[in-house]
Amino acid sequence: MALRYVVQIGDPVLRQKCEEVKKFDNDLFELLDDMKETVREENGAGLAAPQIGVPLRVVVIDLEEGYFELINPKFIAQKGKQTGAEGCLSVRGKQGIVTRPNKVKIEYRTRDGRKRTVTAEGLFARAICHELDHLDGVLYVDLAQNIVDVKEEK
CA distances in angstroms from 130 to 22, 27, 98, 114, listed in the order given:
23, 25, 10, 23
Shortest reach from residue 113's CB to Ni ion, in Å? 26
Q: Which is nearer to Ni ion, 96 or 118 (CB)?
A: 96
Catalytic residue among 30, 65, 86, 131: 131
Q: Which is nearer to Ni ion, 24 or 94 (CB)?
A: 94
Of the candidates 32, 41, 56, 33, which has an alpha carbon nearest to the alpha carbon of residue 6? Answer: 41
**Over 67-133, what HEC string results?**
EEEEEEEEEEEEECCEEEEEEECCEEEEEEEEEECCEEEEEEECCCCCEEEEEEEHHHHHHHHHHHH
Shortest reach from residue 23's CB to Ni ion, in Å? 25
Q: Which is nearer to Ni ion, 28 or 47 (CB)?
A: 47
69 is annotated as an active-site residue: no
Residues that bind Ni ion (CB under 5 A): 88
Shortest reach from residue 90's CB to Ni ion, in Å? 5
Catalytic residues: 131
